Amino acid sequence: MRYLIFGTGAIGGYFGGRLLQHKTHQQVDFIARGKQLSAIKSNGLALKSINGNTLLSTINVSEKINDNIQYDVIFIAVKSYQLKQAVAEIIRACGKKTVVIPLLNGIDIDNKLIAYGLTSKQIVNGFANIICNVNDYGIIEHIGGDPHITLGVKKGLHNQQAINRLTPIIENVAQDLKRAQVNVSIKDDISDAVWAKYLFVSPWAAISSLVEQPLSQIRSNPQCYLLLQQLLDEYVLIAKADGVTVAPRLLENIKKGLEHLPPESTTSMQNDVEQGRATEFDTLVASAFHLSEKHKLSSPILTWCYSCLAVKVNAGYNNYK
Ligand SMILES: NC(=O)C1=CN([C@@H]2O[C@H](COP(=O)(O)OP(=O)(O)OC[C@H]3O[C@@H](n4cnc5c(N)ncnc54)[C@H](OP(=O)(O)O)[C@@H]3O)[C@@H](O)[C@H]2O)C=CC1
Ligand SMILES: CC(C)(CO)C(=O)C(=O)O
């Protein structure tokens, strides 16, 4: 299998790096840019991880996709606001058999990929569980979460013929990831799992982006923690109104997950807010707000977060580097 990791930031660097570290027959290429590209070219890609450090000094990384290579699988590991440009570049490298797997957070990433020009037959849905960041150029730091990728088709998106073609590819990718010491789940219909991940990350992303504090501070401030729990309850009502099956234990598991993550945990949206960069506000907060409006729900905490963050991130956009 020949893999392309499009976007060598936290997620792309970690999971692509592990695939490269444990590769047998497969080839793993990377797309990066700017100082990250220069640092990886000069010093290699370093993973500083609670699961073991490694330095990948032999790595095929470039700024643009080599159009002469036909990739079997392209993982997309950019932020949602970078997706349109990424797809414009990826489309050129897609052969008839290429499968594209987005690892972004969000409930409508597949629809965005289609709107930007990919076809449903080319897409396998996916998402990542891990807490990692770019610690310095060329250095990915994994501080929490057991690295996990969930893969699967969506019943509404794929017909049976597409499912039959994509299933063995998903299984091969899962085997390669497992060999690379990444846990993998495969879902027959990934829709509810995508929502479950969204419910875990989005309320926390909203609150952490507002208060700009690590999880320990959010947990130890009773009012702040209550806000997070109430916001989560509102997101769950939105999911249910949108037809999602929210398993009774899910809410309990999300709350337990938030209790047990390392104290220094932050969300990637919060990191972007703190650094004055563009954010995934549209995907993680505005999408939920608009769904709440569509289903005529009352979501007072979400409405408040939406308004405050809209002001805050718009100010942040002015500093966008
Ligand atoms: N970090 C985490 O722990 C987790 C993140 N996620 C999700 O994964 C997704 C990716 O997040 P994360 O890895 O943190 O983000 P990062 O910003 O760390 O990584 C994205 C990388 O892609 C690069 N990139 C974007 N567009 C291009 C392009 N056209 N050409 C070359 N390089 C490009 C960016 O470069 P540049 O910096 O120059 O823009 C950056 O290096 C998000 O949806 C996030 O919500 C999910 C689970 C956990
Ligand atoms: C919260 C976290 C780290 C959990 O996986 C995440 O998905 C993100 O910040 O984008």
Can you tell me whether residue 75 is helix, strand or coil?
Answer: strand
Are 13 and 44 spatial neighbours (Cβ–Cβ below 8 Å)?
no
pLDDT at res. 158: 87
| CATH 2.170.190.11 for the 192-318 domain, yes or no | no
Ligand 1 centroid–CA 318 distance in Å is 20
In this structure, the chain runs to a length of: 321
Q: What six digits make up the tokens of 119?
A: 């076809």
Q: Quick one: average pLDDT of 58-87?
A: 96
Angstrom CA distances, 150 to 35, 76, 91, 92, 126, stand at 30, 14, 23, 26, 5
pLDDT digits (tens, 9 = 90+) for 90-142: 999 898 899 999 999 999 999 999 999 999 999 999 999 999 999 999 999 99
Q: Residue 320 above 50 pLDDT?
A: no
Ligand 2, CB within 6 Å, residue ranges? 105, 129-131, 145, 201, 204, 267-268
- Contacting residues for 244 by C-beta, under 8 A, at least 6 apart: 191, 192, 195
pLDDT digits (tens, 9 = 90+) for 205-241: 999 999 999 999 999 999 999 999 999 999 999 999 9
Q: State whether the beta carbon of 261 lies less than 6 angstroms from ligand 1.
A: no
ipTM value of the model?
Answer: 0.98
Eight-state DSSP code of residue 285: I
Which atom of ligand 2 is nearest to 201's Cα?
1
| CATH 3.40.50.1010 for the 2-189 domain, yes or no | no
Domain borders along the chain are 2-189, 192-318
Backbone angles phi, psi at 62, to 5 degrees: -150, 170
Eight-state DSSP code of residue 312: H
Q: How far apart are CA 270 and CA 249, in angstroms?
A: 27
Closest Cα to atom 9, ligand 2: which residue?
267
pLDDT at res. 117: 96
Q: State whether the beta carbon of 215 lies less than 6 angstroms from ligand 1.
A: no
pLDDT digits (tens, 9 = 90+) for 281-300: 999 999 999 999 999 999 99
